[in-house]
């Protein structure tokens, strides 16, 4: 029987690429996103998949996904928490409801789906959760709450990876930098910076799945971003803050 992977945010970007590569690896798929037409088109492209249409900022819609993850008759072997988005503007200038919705998707959804998925996986002695985070979680910067949410996701994943050692279940945070997807254009940012800093989605996902199979708690694709993460840990905090402010202002 084929293993099953549930991928959130599967209608575009890294989510679509995870679905493509996991399907090629022999996984049956449960695809989750708000855009039913895109999900169905992806399911057809992959030769069939289960489609769950859900706005993960809505607790009622999210409960449908939680129920699917706890269905003992149809176990999910791999949860990919990929759904997430950024918001334009500074924290104090962004509408409170917009900030709250962002938090629901980027933080609360990861917490809840991971929490409901893990007990069944632990009981079966196999499975895992791959949480899509970001290099932004290692760096203070301007903007609203994106980086703060990703810092939570990365730390939660690292903590769980340690706690679950020896259970047959693994949790990993994927922390990419700039990726060639629709992410930036959706909240009004153009692609800036050198071309070599922009990664292709297929390379990011391939690296993530390789690192996950190796049991790594954190995956940082691309040497540039590995260096940035290392520098953020070693450099004086005042310098890190100054560079983060300069970088953020350079992105617009």
CB neighbours (10 Å) of residue 85?
Answer: 15
Active-site residue 85, yes or no? no
What is the Cα–Cα distance from 28 to 155, expressed in whole angstroms?
Answer: 29
C-alpha dihedral (15, 106, 223, 182), degrees to nearest 10: 50
89 CB-contact burial (10 Å; exposed 0-12 / middle 13-18 / buried 19+): middle
What is the Cα–Cα distance from 179 to 51, expressed in whole angstroms?
Answer: 25
CB 212 within 8 A of CB 79: no
* Catalytic entry in 27, 85, 146, 225: 146
Beta-bridge mates of residue 193: none
Q: What DSSP string runs through 162-223?
A: HHTTTTTEEEEEE----BSSSHHHHTT----S-GGGPBPHHHHHHHHHHHHHTT-SEE--SH
- Alpha-helical runs (H) found in 30-145: 36-45, 59-69, 96-103, 109-124
> What is the 8-class DSSP label of residue 71?
-
Q: Which run of H or of E encompasses 153?
A: helix 146-163
* Residues noted as catalytic: 146
């Amino acid at each position: 029987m084929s293993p099953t992977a549930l991928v959130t945010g599967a209608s575009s970007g890294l989510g679509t690429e995870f679905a493509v590569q996991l399907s090629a690896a022999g996984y049956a798929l449960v695809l989750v996103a708000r855009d039913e037409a895109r999900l169905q088109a992806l399911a057809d492209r992959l030769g069939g998949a289960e489609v769950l249409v859900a706005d993960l900022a809505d607790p009622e819609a999210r409960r449908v996904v939680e129920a699917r993850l706890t269905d003992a008759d149809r176990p999910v072997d791999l949860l990919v928490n990929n759904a997430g988005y950024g918001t334009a503007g500074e924290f104090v200038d962004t509408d409170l409801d917009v900030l709250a919705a962002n938090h629901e998707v980027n933080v609360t959804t990861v917490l809840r789906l991971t929490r409901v998925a893990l007990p069944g996986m632990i009981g079966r002695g196999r499975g895992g959760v791959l949480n899509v985070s970001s290099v932004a979680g290692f760096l203070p910067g301007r903007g609203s709450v994106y980086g703060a949410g990703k810092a939570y996701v990365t730390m939660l994943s690292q903590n769980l990876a340690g706690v679950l050692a020896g259970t047959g279940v693994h949790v990993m945070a994927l922390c990419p930098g700039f990726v060639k997807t629709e992410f930036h254009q959706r909240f009004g940012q153009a692609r800036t910076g050198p071309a070599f800093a922009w990664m292709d989605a297929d390379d990011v996902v391939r690296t993530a799945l390789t690192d996950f199979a190796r049991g790594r708690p954190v995956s940082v694709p691309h040497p540039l971003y590995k260096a940035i993460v290392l520098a953020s840990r070693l450099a004086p905090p005042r310098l890190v803050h100054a560079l983060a402010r300069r970088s953020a202002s350079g992105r617009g």
